[in-house]
Structure 1
Amino acid sequence: MAAPQLAFAALLCALLGACATLSEPTGVAPSYAEAADAEQLYAQGELDQSAAAFLQLAQAHHGDEAAHYRLRAAEALRERGDLDGAARALGDVKRRRLHGNEPLRLDLLDAEIALKHGDIAQAQALLTVPDSDVPQNLRVRALELRARADLASGDAFASARARAALDRYLAGADREQNRKQLTDALAAMNANALKTRIETLPAGDPLRPWVEQALRDKGQTLARELPRPSHPVGTMQPGANGAMQAEGYTSLKHVALLLPLNAQLAAVSQSIRDGFLSAYFADTTGRRPDVRIYDSGKTPADAIAAYNAAVADGADHVVGPLQRESVGELFHQSLSARVLALNHPDTGEVPPPGSAEFGLLPDAEGAQVAEHMRERGIARAAIIAADTEWADRAARAFRAQFEAGGGSVVGETRLRDKDVNYSTSITQATASLGSGADGGVFISMRPQQARLLLPQLKIANAAASVFATSHVYAGDNNTSLDRDLDGLEFCDAPWLFGPVPGRPDRNQVSSQFASASGVGARLFAFGMDAYALLPYMDWLLAHPDAYVNGATGELTADSFGRIHRVVGWARFRNGVALPADGALSAAPMQQ
């Protein structure tokens, strides 16, 4: 075994408590003093002496007892890194002589010995036991061996899947090394192979987020399983004491809000903070938690320090951090307080159990626009997007979702920020669109570009309906400029266009907080929703059909702890953004 593998194996075994609590098999006489001494030597790390003592016991006993002591000697030598010595210690131990979990321990040891000698088929044959049949204290080792055997056999995907299952049991350096091996295995596969293999995974398979990230790293995007929640949280019902209580509601005690307060992100943080506190003071349940705000700084290390300070001050729930890199780093830690992160990390990992991540993602909006257009009967689409990273993400998500639903993308182009004449780009994207009612144009760009684009689309006789992500709306009405956007339909936070039950009225708060106006309005709504999610996190994570009626949309959670939004829809009329067809609901409109 290579030195790094030996080190990793030693760390994994240490995680299992050095196997010191393994019980003797049924039928073995009460522990002799010699056996207790041998176990004590093992626990103290005196592995050579422990193995020698166990071998002496094996020679002094017969049958089941001798098999037990030979296995313990072999385990001591394996822990020392001497697999050849372990094989010699086992000798011809028979499985029928072993009891309890000893046969499985023998299989794991034999599999590791087989891997060392390159007998991959034998190792895989010994590792076929289902995870559910492996005791918790042996599962880490079994998964790690399976991952190594699958990789050695050439099945990188199966190896990554074992490591994705292993991830939940590890922490610190062990988890970091396991994740590197997982991502390296997926990176070695081509995009087509990844797309084919991910189709075989159940919706809740822990490998799925890692494959999605590996495909994004290769410039590929998968269609999403869009949320369709049906059961609102908070339904009043009798509690255990007969009093009425909101279904799914859990009272909170101490909440920390982690936001970067440096100049670069001060405006963003202010809108989120003001929205969070606005929802806090509007909370009429009478069970508001204590809230403290911490500066999460500029770096992941700053965010970890802020988290630790919050926990030291008694926080049991932490909202934040905001930066992607900081979220990813926080998810690497052993979390004693549960987290609602305000972004999604770009590295593929999902929140630890009991925590969640929440963000306003352009990818999610692009996918929902695609679904919305298909529901409107649009089968052919042209894509026109800004030449930016976020717009490209939205465009790729749109294409993947639209095509997965049976639609056809007939043309695509990007608009550079300094361009003002879009005639060539329009021709490139829409030349094959035609004039049928089943055609539409998807755009992802800021208002300034959209105000230039739409009149030029009309001049080019591209008369198809136009749909956009929320980025096309500046957050406040500017009638004189936005008349050029008339007819454009876009997804956005319902709170921007009308009242949302349980949330402060926008017209009222925007007169008090400048952060609730303009481009900050969406972030203000985001902050309100972060507060609204906290008491229902447990319920949402356990009930994928449940949702919180939020300011940014209907909020629901998947099995990985990711909060999803079902967005609302608006359309420009006479330069004013209004709910599409008068609807304030976030539910998709039907044709």
Structure 2
Amino acid sequence: MMRSSSILLLALLPLLLAGCATLGGPTPAQQAANAQADALYQRGDYQGAARTWDNLSAQSPRSNQGNDYRLRAADAWYVAGQHARAAQLLATVDGAHLHALDAARYNLLKGELALTHDPQQALAIAAMLPSTLPPTLALRAARLQAEAAGALGDHWASARARVRMDNLLSGKARQRNARDIERMLVALGVPALQKQASKLPAGDPMLPWLGRALHRLGSALPKNLPQLMRPAGTVITQGGGSTQEGFHAYRQIALLLPLSGPLKVAGEAVAEGFLTAYFNTAQAQSRPLLRVYDTQGTPAGALAAYQLAQSDGADLVVGPLARDAVAALFDSNPSLPVLALNHPDSTVNPPRGSAEFGLMPANDGTQAAARMLQQGIHSAVVFIAGSDNEQRAAQAFKAQFEAGGGDVLTVQTLPQGTVNYANEIRNAMPGLGANGGIFIAVPPETARLLMPQIRVARLRQPVFASVQVYGGSPNALDKDLDGVQFPDAPWLYDAQPGLPVRASLMHDLPVVAGRGARLFAFGMDADLLSPYFVWLQQHPGSYVAGATGQLSVDAQGHVQRTPIWVQFNNGVATPMAGTLNLSAPTQ
């Protein structure tokens, strides 16, 4: 009897051991199947993954492991578009026995399934989800909140959730999301957008989107002007050696510019400025390898140039120059860091690790408004010639001036085809007291006609202008502009130490003498900024002293430019003392 019992126990031992393996955790075969399901899910075969997890859950239906498998199967069925199957399976999952990420996945899936019939419940569940999730789940959580808020008619909350989605998307999905954000914000209207903007702290990721929506509505968003505290590139001594704070040494830079096509002249001016700064570096061995690529001034050319630069081994891309080319490159989700040389018209922000830098006309209006407010001027009239750039400058001026407590009495558009602006000046006069100011955004030819007529009308208020008021080189006719102040690039007046002297370059580089000088200075700044822009974004208050002004980078990757102030005296544009603390750029 005893011998028979022993034989029976030996026969049952493998079955008992197998049962212990199931009770104590997944068997090696189950672990392999689970890994296979994960791989199928990552490849996008959601139905295959769901079936595998279904099979695993059937092997141990009452265990915690089986509960986990049912959750993963329900999730995979939902992502595969089989929502009814997902809901049926989720109802069998015991949420009380889930922990950490599985608990978040369970709640997320409950919210997604509730969205179609109860968006209020879906929104409540979305608010309960953890703030830190893996990117895939974070994207779904933000989408859940966006769609639930949108279904409830809360465009602001929906747009804010979609802004969180922006950096989690790429390609066409990111473009569609950007259009949805702009559509929702535009639907709110100017007063609501301005009210929301006033509540947001500096650096809030919603602010750039608000600015673009307001621009679409013919308005603008006031800027938080950078508070510049210390220059980048401070030499730090460590262990007998020295490094420059914030400086990143790239091995190979690709410069993407239009060297043929309709933008050839502008591209060549920027290229000459970049190369001048590049070769101005004291030590040749510290320069990265530089390759220049022709984008032909088109989005397709820019994308082709980027691909070629990447295959050639570049680890930084500077450019392209055209707005549509920048938008196309950003939309392609580039893997290399990019310092783009314009701002795209789209609402897409630079990818992480990249930045955008441009000579924006709106910056002149912002700077003029801030300067007038600093001087105690709280009422103003605006004259523009009517181009898109002038309208942008006027919108930015109005937004900044009114945000600071000022009152823009009128914006007068000067008529084309006439030299008599008496009606526009007369319409601007009422209410403009002795302590008021005048802002003009017009080209030099128009300004030389407008200013004498302003004086004939006995308007003695100070006049501030956009940079386009000055052609970039001395002109005897500019005596009519005496007293007018405008923001400009310090290098044009040799007011920035450490850079090549403008006069010494004019003989060999004709572009330096005329209107192309600002593009040349812009090109120099692209080189000066390239080793620092990532660090500047991470260190608010730091700046690079460049040819076009002091350059800082905000949290969204937009380069902010603080110019100097210049005034016409006896027809000569002369830098005004005390408008910018200058220091030599470190390269």
Say whether the fold is shared (TM-score over 0.5).
yes
Counterpart position of 1:474: 471
Counterpart position of 1:376: 375
Distance 1:415 1:28, change over 3 A: farther
Counterpart position of 2:16: none
Task: Report the Cα offset of residue 584 of structure 1.
Answer: 6.5
Task: Report the Cα offset of residue 52 of structure 1.
Answer: 7.7
Task: Report the Cα offset of residue 78 of structure 1.
Answer: 1.5
CA distance in 2, matches of 1:68, 1:584: 63
CA distance in 2, matches of 1:565, 1:269: 21
Counterpart position of 1:545: 541
Counterpart position of 1:451: 448
Task: Report the Cα offset of residue 571 of structure 1.
Answer: 0.8
CA distance in 2, matches of 1:275, 1:417: 35
- Is the 8 Å Cα contact of residues 55 and 70 (structure 1) preserved in structure 2? no
Counterpart position of 1:439: 436
Counterpart position of 1:81: 81
SS at match of 1:547: strand
- Is the 8 Å Cα contact of residues 567 and 586 (structure 1) preserved in structure 2? no
AA at the equivalent of 1:33 = A
AA at the equivalent of 2:446 = Q
Counterpart position of 2:281: 283
Counterpart position of 1:6: none
- Is the 8 Å Cα contact of residues 183 and 214 (structure 1) preserved in structure 2? yes
Structure 2 residue 69 is matched with structure 1 residue 69? yes
Structure 2 residue 93 is matched with structure 1 residue 103? no
Distance 1:338 1:49, change over 3 A: closer
Further displaced range: 388-397 or 198-207: 198-207
SS at match of 1:113: helix
AA at the equivalent of 2:107 = D
CA distance in 2, matches of 1:487, 1:56: 82
Counterpart position of 1:488: 484
Distance 1:383 1:191, change over 3 A: same
Distance 1:512 1:130, change over 3 A: farther
Task: Report the Cα offset of residue 550 of structure 1.
Answer: 0.8
- Is the 8 Å Cα contact of residues 568 and 584 (structure 1) preserved in structure 2? yes
AA at the equivalent of 2:517 = A
Task: Report the Cα offset of residue 32 of structure 1.
Answer: 5.8
- Is the 8 Å Cα contact of residues 172 and 331 (structure 2) preserved in structure 1? no
CA distance in 2, matches of 1:406, 1:570: 25
- Is the 8 Å Cα contact of residues 261 and 297 (structure 1) preserved in structure 2? yes
CA distance in 2, matches of 1:375, 1:72: 61
SS at match of 2:204: coil
AA at the equivalent of 2:487 = C
Structure 2 residue 572 is matched with structure 1 residue 579? no
SS at match of 1:416: coil
AA at the equivalent of 1:378 = I
Matches within 5 A, 1:330-479: 330-434=329-433, 436=434, 438-478=435-475
Distance 1:89 1:207, change over 3 A: same
Task: Report the Cα offset of residue 102 of structure 1.
Answer: 1.4
Distance 1:367 1:86, change over 3 A: same
AA at the equivalent of 1:563 = V
AA at the equivalent of 1:273 = A
Counterpart position of 1:18: none
Task: Report the Cα offset of residue 85 of structure 1.
Answer: 1.3
Distance 1:50 1:370, change over 3 A: closer
AA at the equivalent of 1:522 = R
CA distance in 2, matches of 1:510, 1:127: 62
- Is the 8 Å Cα contact of residues 55 and 73 (structure 1) preserved in structure 2? no
The count of corresponding residues between Structure 1 and Structure 2 is: 557
- Is the 8 Å Cα contact of residues 272 and 527 (structure 1) preserved in structure 2? yes
Distance 1:179 1:396, change over 3 A: closer
CA distance in 2, matches of 1:166, 1:321: 26
Task: Report the Cα offset of residue 131 of structure 1.
Answer: 5.0
CA distance in 1, matches of 2:358, 2:186: 26
Matches within 5 A, 1:112-131: 112-116=112-116, 118-129=117-128, 131=130
AA at the equivalent of 2:471 = A
CA distance in 2, matches of 1:120, 1:106: 17
Further displaced range: 374-383 or 43-52: 43-52
Task: Report the Cα offset of residue 60 of structure 1.
Answer: 4.2
Distance 1:523 1:51, change over 3 A: same
Task: Report the Cα offset of residue 42 of structure 1.
Answer: 7.0
Counterpart position of 1:7: none
Residues 220-248 of structure 1 deviation map (CA, whole Å, 9 limit, x = unaligned): 11111111211111222213x42222221
Matches within 5 A, 1:41-80: 43-44=39-40, 45=45, 47=47, 50-51=50-51, 54=54, 57-58=57-58, 60-80=60-80
AA at the equivalent of 1:57 = S
In structure 2, which of residues 15, 21, 29 is the aligned counterpart of residue 33 of structure 1?
Answer: 29
CA distance in 2, matches of 1:586, 1:411: 36
Distance 1:318 1:41, change over 3 A: closer
- Is the 8 Å Cα contact of residues 257 and 319 (structure 2) preserved in structure 1? yes
Distance 1:40 1:314, change over 3 A: closer
Residues 129-185 of structure 1 deviation map (CA, whole Å, 9 limit, x = unaligned): 355332344212211222111111211211111111111122223323322332332
- Is the 8 Å Cα contact of residues 569 and 579 (structure 1) preserved in structure 2? yes
Residues 352-403 of structure 1 deviation map (CA, whole Å, 9 limit, x = unaligned): 1111111111111111111111112222211111111101110111111111
Distance 1:79 1:376, change over 3 A: closer
CA distance in 1, matches of 2:327, 2:79: 33
Task: Report the Cα offset of residue 285 of structure 1.
Answer: 4.2
CA distance in 1, matches of 2:521, 2:296: 23
- Is the 8 Å Cα contact of residues 37 and 52 (structure 2) preserved in structure 1? no
Counterpart position of 2:188: 189
CA distance in 1, matches of 2:86, 2:205: 34
Task: Report the Cα offset of residue 277 of structure 1.
Answer: 0.8
In structure 1, which of residues 259, 283, 287 is the aligned counterpart of residue 257 of structure 2?
Answer: 259
Distance 1:325 1:406, change over 3 A: same
Distance 1:131 1:302, change over 3 A: farther
Further displaced range: 47-56 or 489-498: 47-56
In structure 1, which of residues 528, 533, 547 is the aligned counterpart of residue 529 of structure 2?
Answer: 533
Task: Report the Cα offset of residue 92 of structure 1.
Answer: 4.2
Distance 1:456 1:228, change over 3 A: same
AA at the equivalent of 1:83 = H
AA at the equivalent of 2:544 = V
CA distance in 1, matches of 2:23, 2:362: 61
AA at the equivalent of 2:439 = F
Counterpart position of 1:16: none
- Is the 8 Å Cα contact of residues 540 and 547 (structure 1) preserved in structure 2? yes
Name stretches of at least 5 consecutive residues in structure 1 with no aligned partner. Answer: 1-25
Distance 1:577 1:42, change over 3 A: closer
CA distance in 1, matches of 2:31, 2:289: 55
Counterpart position of 1:11: none
Distance 1:128 1:55, change over 3 A: farther
Distance 1:491 1:108, change over 3 A: same
Residues 422-453 of structure 1 deviation map (CA, whole Å, 9 limit, x = unaligned): 1111111223313x1x1211101110000011
Instruction: Calculate percent identity across the aligned residue pairs.
Output: 43
Distance 1:439 1:27, change over 3 A: farther
CA distance in 2, matches of 1:388, 1:29: 72
AA at the equivalent of 2:85 = G
Distance 1:568 1:108, change over 3 A: same
Matches within 5 A, 1:215-254: 215-239=214-238, 241-254=239-252
Distance 1:190 1:412, change over 3 A: closer
CA distance in 1, matches of 2:484, 2:275: 33
- Is the 8 Å Cα contact of residues 35 and 57 (structure 1) preserved in structure 2? no
CA distance in 2, matches of 1:400, 1:123: 38
Counterpart position of 1:201: 200
CA distance in 2, matches of 1:31, 1:186: 53
Task: Report the Cα offset of residue 507 of structure 1.
Answer: 0.9
Name stretches of at least 5 consecutive residues in structure 2 with no aligned partner. Answer: 1-21
